[in-house]
Structure 1
Amino acid sequence: MKRMTNHMLRMASGSAIAALLAIGGQASAQSAADGENQGLEDIVVTAQRRSESIQNVPVAVTAFNTQELQRANIQDVGAYFQNTPNVFITDSPVRSGNNVSSSALGLALRGISNVGGNASSFGIYLDDFNISNIALNPHLIDMERIEVLRGPQGTYFGRNASGGVMSLNTAKPDTTGFAGEANVMAGRFGTYELGGMVNVPLSDMVAIRAAGKWETSNGEFNNKAPIGGGNGRDYKAARLSLRATPTDALTIDLSYNYTREEDDDFGLIHTGVLSDFIKSICPGVTFSCPVDANLGFYPNNRRNYAHDAPLVVDNEYHIAVGRVAWTGENVGVTSITGYGSAKFDRSGELDFSSVDFLREGFNYERRKSFSQEFRVQSVGDKRLNWIVGAVYAQDKHREGEFIAAGVQNDIGLPEDFPIELSHYNQKITSKALFAEATFDVTDALSLTAGARYSHDKIKRFEDQIEFGGPLQNVQGSRSFSDVSPRFVIKYKAADHVNLYASASKGWKSGGFELDPQRARSDFGAETLWNYEVGVKSTLFDNRLRANLALFYIDWNNVQVSSGVIGRDANGNIINYAGISNAASATSKGAELELLAAPTDQLELGLNIGYLRARFDKFADARTNFGTVDLSGKPLPKAPEWTLSTFAQYTVPLTGDFDAFVRGEYFYTDDAYTTVNNIAAVLTGQPRFPYEVKGYGKANLRIGVENDRFRIVGYVENLFDKKYYTASFDFGFANGAAVVPGLRRWGVRGSVKF
C-alpha cells in the first residue's frame, strides 16, 4: 500500500508538472500574440530583513499575501501550514493547543519539532517580535502577509528558529485616506463570526487602524451527559495600531493586540483502545473500561462523548510591539521593542468520561516575554549589502497544576486524594549579537556569510508531589552559549532563474528539571545543520513560477521529553516526565512549489514535499510502553509525503463583478505524533490510533466579488473524509482519544468602504 501511495504521488506530481509546463507554454504563446500579459503577481518578503522578491531570496519560503489569505480562507496556523510542503500540524481540542498536552497543536517543519526541551524549535514572529512563548496560534486579523521560512534562520531570527520561522506581518495604518471593511460569517455547528477594520488618517503624518473579530460556536461535538456542559466557544481578538512618519526618513509603528479565548470542553472522541496501564487500574470494581461504549467509538462515532462535569478553558494574551525605523541615504537603523503576556486557566473534567474518575482542581500558566532588538544595515542595491544587530530578550513562565482522585476512581483512593500537585517558575534571559554580509562577486554570482552569537541564562524552580508522596523540588540556574553561522552561494543562471546553495546551523539551549528519581536532571543544548540547494524560476513570460529545494539536516543531542505513566516493579503507580539528549537524527527531502496562470482567468498551484526523517540513535527511549530502542524509527510529526494543490477559475459577470470557483486538495502521509505513540506500535500495540493514517481531503469555494463586495460559500472536507491528526493518550477510562476531522460549510461576506 505504501509503495502504491508513493507511486501514485510521483505520477500525480509528474503529470502536474508536465501539464503546468505545457499550459504555461501555450499561455506564453497566446499572450505574445495578444500583446497582453498580467501573469503572476510578485510577492515581496522580508525573510532577510529587507524587502525582496520571494524569487530572489535564497531561502525556502512560502508566502501568502492579503489576496491569497482571503482566497484560501486562511484563518489560523493550520490553514497556512497545510499549504506549505513538508510542514505538519496536529489538530488541538482547543485553539490554544500548547496548553492542552504534548500532542496538541504540534508543529513540525521538515521533521524538526518540539520533541522536548524548554524552548520552541521554531519561531513565530508578529511584526518582528518573537511571540513563541505567548501564542502558537494567533488570530489572523487584518494581515498584510505571512511567510513560512523552512530550515534554520538563526542569523536574523535567532531564538526558537532552528527548525524554521513563521513571520506574521500585519497591515499598517495608511495616511492617504479613510478606509474600512466589515465581514461576517455563518457556518455549520452554530458558528458565527463578525469582524472588520477601520483606517483613519489623523493628519498627513499620522494614522490609526483598528481591527477585530468575534467568533462564537455551539461546538462540533455533543456531550450526552447533560450535567457535563457543552462544547461551545467564544473568541475575541482585536488590534489597535498607529503609524507616524514625522519625516520621509523616519517611520514609527505602534500596535497593541488583545485576544480572549473561552472554550467549554475538549470534546475528545474516544477510540476504545486501552493501554496496559489503564487496564491495570480499571479492574471493574465500580465500573468497567471503556465506560462509555454505548456511545460507540471512533470511527463509528465521530461527534458524541459523555463528560460528567464541565471543563472550563480560558486563554488570554496581550502583545504590544513598537518599531522605529530610520532610513538614510546609505544606512538604515531599526529598533523593535516587544512585550507580551499570556494567562491560561483550566479546571474541571479530566478523565473525559461519564464517571468521576479524575478531577483537575486547577491548571494555570502565566507567561511573559520582552525583547529589544537594534539593527543597522546598508540601504539600497549595492555590491556589498550588510546588517549587524543586537538583541536582549527575557521569557518568563510560571505554571501550576492540581489533579485529584474522583469519588469513582476505582483504585481505592479517597476522594480528592492528591495525584499530582506541581509548580514551576522559569526565566530565560537571552543576549545575542548577529551580522551578515552579501557580496556580489559578479552580476550573476553573490556570496553570503553571517553568524549569530547567543547566550542564554536559565533560572528554574520546580516542585512536585506525586500520588501523595513527599514534596520534592529543584532550583538553580545554568548558562549556555553558541555561535551559529550561515553561508550562501547564489547564482543567476538566466533571467528569472536563480540557483542557490546554503549551510546554516540551528541551536536550542538546554536546561534542567526534576527527573524520575525526583532529583535534578540536566540536559544540554541541541544543534542541527541544514544543507540545502535550490532553484527559483519564473518562466513563460511570468506565467509559471517553479521552485525546488533539496535539503539534508543533521540533528544532534536532540532534546526528547519522555512522559511516562505506569507502574514500577513493586506495582506502585508512577507518573513523571523527563528530558534527555539521548537521541540523534537526520532529515532529508525535497520540496517542489509550482504556481501557474495559464490565462488571466485560471490559476493553478501545486506543492509537494518528500521527507525521510529518522532517529539515527535512540537506544533507551523511556516511554509509557517501557524502555525501547527507537533507532531507525521515524521522527514524530514527519510524514513522508505532503501535497497541496488548488485550481481557481474566474469568470467576468455583468458590471465589475467576477464569479469564481476554487477547488483545493490536501494529502498528508502516515505519521506518528509523539515518541510514546511510536513506542506503542513497536511494542505490539495496535497501530490504530497510535499511528495517524495518511489522508486526503478536498475543499470547495464558490463566490462573486468586485473591488468592494465579496460573498463566498465554502465547504471544508467536501467528501466528509474520516481522519484525525493526533491521538491523545490521557483519555483514561475510555482509552486513547482523537479529534475527528469533520465536514464544515458556511458563507463569508465582506464589504469595503
Structure 2
Amino acid sequence: MTNLKSGLGKSLATGSSWAAIVAGLTLIAIPAQAQTAPSVQPEQPQDTESEGVEDIVVTAQRRSESIQQVPVAVTAFSAEDMQRANIRDVGSYFASTPNVFITDSPIRSGNNVSDSALGLAIRGISNVGGNGSSFGIYLDDFNISHIALNPHLLDMERIEVLRGPQGTYFGRNASAGVMSLSTARPSTSGVSGQIDAMFGSFNTAEVSGAINVPLSSTVAIRAAAKWEGSDGEFRNKHPIGGGNGRDYKAARLSLRATPTDQLTIDLSYNYTREHDDDFGLINTGVLGSFIKSICPGVTFTCPVDKNLGFYPDNRRNYAHDAPLKVDNEYHIAVGRIQWEGETVGVTSITGFGSAKFHRAGELDFSSKDFLREGFNDNTRQSLSEELRVQSVGSGPFKWTIGGVIARDKIRNGELISAGKENDIGLPEGFVIELSHFSQAISSKAVFAEASYDFTDALSLTLGGRYSHDTIERFEDQIEFGGPLDKVAGKKSFEDFSPRAVLKYKVSQDVNLYASASKGWKSGGFQLDPQRARSDFGAETLWNYEIGMKSTWFDRKLRANLALFYIDWKDVQVSSGVVGVDSSGAIINFAGISNAASASSKGVELELVAAPIRGLELGFNLGYMDAKFGKFVDARTNFGKIDLSGKPLPKAPDWTISGFAQYSVPVSGTMSAFLRGEYFYTSDAYTNVNNIAAVATGQPVFPFRINAYDKVNLRLGIETDTYRISAYVENLFDAKYYTSSFDFGFANGAAVIPSLRRWGLRGSYKF
C-alpha cells in the first residue's frame, strides 16, 4: 500500500537579515586578520601532539584536505569520535549533524512497512517521490544508496556528512547531500587488530573484531566481522504471533597493494545478512479515514486491541496473530586503483552491489486475521565505473576531470491477500494485489572542476557535471480480482549541473566562502496496469550558501558557520491513496507528479572546544524554515487539498545537539572519562498525508511528531590497549517517536516509541 513520500524545507531570513549576517561574518573575521601580516603565509602542518581540537582530513572534493580548508558544509567523525560517542549506525551520526532528520525504521534497510513514513532529510530535502534518491551514500567512493540505506559501521576510518547538493563529484543522487563512509585500509606496518563486545538492555549482544596482516612489504590484508542479536524492544502478547528479535551478521575482507611508490590498489568485499522478527509497531488507537469507512460494516470494533492500551500509555506491547519475517542480504565489492605522478594523478573506482530482500506474514498489525502478505520480494543491483584524472601538487591552479557510467536494476514482486477475519465481504485468500515490476536506470556522466588561487588569500572554483539517464520499466498487476495487465516503457533525461565557489582566506585560521550549486534528479514515468501511464519530469534545486571555517585561541576552539537558501522546483511527489469508491469497492491509487515547489532557508553552527587538558566540548545548532511553495492539488488520504505554504515533511525548525567529555588520569597508563550528550528536535511531520491530516482538522496526535529532547550518559576507563565503558541512552526515558505510520488498519496509526537503553562495552587493541 503506497503512501505519500515527502521532504522539503522552510524559510529563515529577509534580504536585510542576510546582509546583516554577512556583515557579522566580516566583523568576526577582522580581528583575526589584524593579527596577521598582510600577505597570508602558506599553511604549516599542525602539531598533532599539542593541546587543542583535533583536525580531521576529509575528501569532500575528492582530495585529501583539512576539514577547515574545504568550502563545503561538512560534519566529519573520525574512528575515535565514533567510539567515544557510541556511533553504531546512520541515525547515530545524523543525530549530531545540524539540519539533518532521520526517522526511526522498523528494519535497518530494504523495503520498509511504509515507504512514506521512513527516510532521511538534509536541509529539508528528502525523497518525496521519483525513481532515484535525493541523497547519496558512498562506501569507499562507490554509491550504495540503491543497495543499503543503513549499512553497518564496521571497522570505519571516517564518516563525512556533506550538506547541500554535491552534483559535480557525486552526481544525480546528491541533491540533498552525501554521506561518505571510509573504511580502515590494510597496512604493511605490522599485525594489529581490535576486539569489541557489548551487552545491553533487551538482551542485546554484539561482538565485532578486525585484524590487519601484512603479507609482504607491499601487500596487506584486513578482515573485519560483526554479529548483533537481540530479543527486541517490544513484546507480542498474542500467543502465536512470534517475537520482535533480530539477528545481524556483517563481514569485510580488504586488500591493499602498493607495487610502486606511485601505484596503490585497494580491493574490498562486504557481506551483510539481516533478519528481523516483526516490526513491533505500537498502535495509537487513532483511526485513519480508510479504516473508519469500513469499520461500521464489520463485526469487530475498531480499534480491536483496546485491552493492551495505546501509545503513550502503552510503549512496548502489541498483538499480532501471525509472525512476520524480514530478511535482507547484500554484497558490495569495490576496486580502487590510484596512480599518482609528479603533476597528474589517475583514479579508477569500480563498484558492484547486489541486495536481496524478503518479507512475508502479518500485515494488518492487529490480533485479527485481516490482511496477509504472501510475499514481498525485492532484488537490486548496482554497477558503476568512475575514472578521474586530476592535478597533483599545491600550485595555484588545480583541476579534476572525470566520467562515470552506471546501471541500477530493481525487481519487485508482492502478494497481498485477505485474511479470514477481514469482515468486508472478501473470501479468505482473496487477492487484493499481485504485482511485479522491474526497472533499470542507465546513467552516463562527465564532470570537471578547476580552482585558481588569484592571490594567497583569494581563490575561485568552477565546475559542472553533464548527466544522461535512461529509464526502462515493466510492470504487471492483478488488483482486487481484476484481470492481469502488463505495461512497459522507456524514457531518457539529461542535465547540466554547475557549481561555483569563491573562497577568501582572512587569516591562517579563518576562511570565508560563498557558493552556488545545482542539484538534479531525473524524471520518469509511473506504470499502473489498471490505469494510464503517467510521466513526470526531472526535479531541480539551487543551493546558495555562505560560510565561515575558523579556529581560535591556539586551536582550542573550532567554529564553523553556514547559511543557505534552497530553491526547489518541480518536486516529484508520490501519492498513495487507499479508500472505497462509490460502489463500495476498495481502491488503491498510486502515482508520481511534479506537483510542488518548495524552499528552505537556514543556518548551521558547529562548535568544538578543548579549553583545558582533558576537557572537550561540542555544540551543533541547525535552524531552517522549510516549506512548500505552490502545492494546490495534493492528493492525500484526506482528499485533494491545498498544502501551499505548509511545512515540509522531515524538516523540523530546530535541531540542537551538544556534548561534554572529561578525562582524568588514574595512573601512568590509565584514564577515566565521563561523557554527557544532549539532543533536541522541534516539531515535524513524517509525510504529506500527516500534514494533510492536521490541515483538515484531524487530531494532531499522532500525525505531528512533537518536539523532543533526550540525554545520553557514558563513563569508563581506558588505556592505549583497552577500554571498558557503560552507557545509558535516553537517560530520563523521554517519551517520543520520530515516525508515524498513517496507513492505519484495525488499530489505528502506529509509531515506534523510543525507549531507555543501557549497555556495557569493552574493547581490546593489539
TM-score (norm 1): 0.95
Q: Which residue of 2 aligns with 1:227?
A: 240
CA distance in 2, matches of 1:571, 1:607: 53
Residue of 691, 696, 699 corresponding to 2:709: 696
Distance across 2 between alignment mates of 1:528 and 1:517: 33
Q: Supply the distance in 1 between the matched residues of 2:413 and 2:647 (Cα, whole angstroms).
A: 33
Contact 2:486 2:529 in 1 (8 A): no
SS of structure 2 residue aligned to 1:273: coil
For residue 457 of structure 1, what is the aligned residue in structure 2?
Answer: 470
| Match of residue 468, structure 1, among 454, 457, 481 | 481
The separation in 2 between residues aligned to 1:600 and 1:48, in whole angstroms, is: 33
Question: Residue type of the partner of 1:402?
Answer: L
* Among candidates 546, 554, 579, match of residue 559 of structure 2: 546
> How far is the alpha carbon of 1:280 from its aligned partner?
1.6
Hey, what's the Cα distance between the residues in 1 that align with 2:655 and 2:705? 14
Q: Deviations over 1:695-731 (max 9, x none)?
A: 0000000011111000110000000000000111234
Kept in 2: contact 1:637–1:671 (CA 8 A):
yes
Which residue pairs with 2:608 in the alignment? Answer: 595
Q: How many angstroms does 1:98 deviate by?
A: 4.4
Q: What is the distance in 1 between the residues matched to 2:678 and 2:588?
A: 42
2:622 match:
609
Q: For residues 598-637 of structure 1, what are the structure 2 equivalents within 5 Å?
A: 598-637=611-650
Contact 1:113 1:122 in 2 (8 A): yes
Q: Secondary structure at the match of 1:749?
A: strand
Does residue 528 in structure 1 map to residue 541 in structure 2? yes
Displacement of 1:471 after TM fit?
2.7
Q: Which residue of 2 aligns with 1:149?
A: 162
Report matched runs for 1:27-66 at 5 Å: 37-66=50-79
| Residue number in structure 2 paired with 1:639 | 652
CA deviation after TM superposition for structure 1 residue 466, in Å: 1.9
| Structure-1 separation of matches of 2:692 and 2:587 | 18
Matched, 1:439 2:452: yes
- Asked whether the 8 Å contact 1:647–1:662 carries over to 2, the reply is yes
* Residue 513 of structure 1: aligned partner: 526
Which of 99, 102, 122 aligns to 1:86? It is 99
Aligned partner (choices 661, 680, 688) of residue 667 of structure 1: 680
Deviation at 1:334, TM superposition (A): 0.2
Match of residue 517, structure 2, among 504, 526, 534 = 504
Could you tell me whether the CA contact under 8 Å between 2:105 and 2:112 is conserved in 1? no
* Counterpart residue number, 1:557: 570
Whether the aligned pair in 1 keeps the contact of 2:632 and 2:643 (CA below 8 Å) is: yes
Structure 2 residue 465 is the aligned partner of structure 1 residue 448 = no
Amino acid across the alignment from 2:732: F
Q: Quick check: 1:93–1:266 contact (8 Å CA) kept in 2?
A: yes
Kept in 1, the 8 Å contact 2:536–2:593? The answer is: yes
Deviation at 1:582, TM superposition (A): 1.1
Q: Which residue pairs with 2:266 in the alignment?
A: 253
Structure 1 residues 128-155: Cα deviation after superposition (integer angstroms, max 9, x where no partner): 0000100000000100000000000000
* 1:91–1:104 contact (8 Å) kept in structure 2: no
Distance 1:445 1:100 in 2: 51
Deviation at 1:284, TM superposition (A): 5.9
Is the contact between residue 589 and residue 610 of structure 1 (CA under 8 Å) also seen in structure 2?
Answer: yes
**Could you report, residue by residue, the CA deviation over 1:327-377 in whole angstroms, capped at 9, with x for unpaired residues?**
000000000000000000000000010010000000010000000000000
CA contact 2:110–2:357 (8 Å) conserved in 1: no
What is the one-letter code of the residue matched to 1:708?
Answer: T
Structure 1, gaps ≥5 residues long: 1-5, 7-20, 26-35
- What residue in structure 2 maps to residue 374 of structure 1? 387
Number of positions where the alignment pairs a residue of Structure 1 with one of Structure 2: 724
Cα distance in structure 1, aligned partners of 2:618 and 2:78: 15
**Letter matched to residue 244 of structure 2:** N
Letter in 2 for 1:645: G
Amino acid at match of 2:120: L
Equivalent residues in 2 for 1:164-243 (5 A)?
164-243=177-256
- The reply on whether 1:106 has 2:112 as its aligned counterpart is no
Q: Structure 2 CA distance, aligned partners of 1:252 and 1:533?
A: 38
Moved more, 462-471 or 596-605: 462-471
* CA-atom RMSD in angstroms: 1.6
The correspondence for 1:567, drawn from 580, 590, 603, is 580
C-alpha contact 1:516 1:576 (8 A) present in aligned 2? no
Question: 2:117, 2:376 → 1: CA distance?
Answer: 16
| 1:445-497 Cα deviation digits (max 9, x unpaired) | 00000000000000001122221123333211000000000000000012210
SS at match of 1:635: coil
Q: Per-residue CA shift, 1:671-698, capped at 9, x if unaligned?
A: 0111111111111110100000010000
CA distance in 1, matches of 2:738, 2:112: 17
State the Cα deviation string for residues 258-299 of structure 1 (Å, max 9, x = none): 000000110000000001220121226331111101000000
Does 2:731 match 1:718? yes
Query: How far apart are the structure 2 equivalents of 1:258 and 1:116?
Result: 29
Q: Does residue 135 of structure 2 align to residue 119 of structure 1?
A: no
TM-score, scaled to structure 2 = 0.93
How far off its partner does 1:95 sit?
1.3
Q: Deviations over 1:374-406 (max 9, x none)?
A: 000000111000000000000000001100000
For 1:594 and 1:97, locate their aligned partners in 2 and report how far apart those are by CA, in whole Å.
35
SS in structure 1 of the partner of residue 82 of structure 2: helix
Offset at residue 104 of structure 1 (A): 4.6
Residues 475 and 528 in structure 2, CA contact (< 8 A), matched pair in contact too: no
Q: Relative to structure 2, which stretch is displaced further, 278-287 or 379-388?
A: 278-287
Instruction: Give the corresponding residue for 1:736.
Output: 749
Map of 1:477 onto structure 2:
490
Q: Distance in 1 between matches of 2:533 and 2:210?
A: 51
Task: Give the unaligned 5+ runs of structure 2.
Answer: 1-11, 13-27, 33-48
Kindly indicate whether residue 665 of structure 2 is the aligned counterpart of residue 652 of structure 1. yes
User: Contact conserved, 1:588 with 1:612, CA < 8 A, in 2?
Assistant: yes
Determine the structure 1 residue equivalent to 2:341: 328
The answer on whether the counterparts of 1:383 and 1:439 sit within 8 Å (CA) in structure 2 is yes
Q: Which amino acid aligns with 2:393?
A: G
2:574 touches 2:592 (CA, 8 Å); kept in 1? yes
Give the corresponding residue for 1:421: 434
- Are the equivalent residues in 1 in contact too, given 2:117–2:687 (CA < 8 A)? no
| Structure-2 change in CA distance of 1:97 and 1:726 (3 Å) | farther
Distance 1:404 1:317 in 2: 28
> For 1:49 and 1:562, how far apart are their aligned partners in 2?
37
Change (3 A) 1:515 1:586: farther
Distance 1:656 1:670 in 2: 46
Q: CA deviation at 1:517?
A: 6.5
Question: 8 Å contact 1:281–1:410 — kept in the other structure?
Answer: no
Distance, in Å, in 2 between the alignment partners of 1:381 and 1:105 is: 44
Corresponding residue to 2:149 among 128, 136, 147: 136
Q: Which has the higher contact order (CA 8 A, sep 6+)?
A: 2
Match of 2:41 in 1: none
2: CA distance between counterparts of 1:161 and 1:693? 29
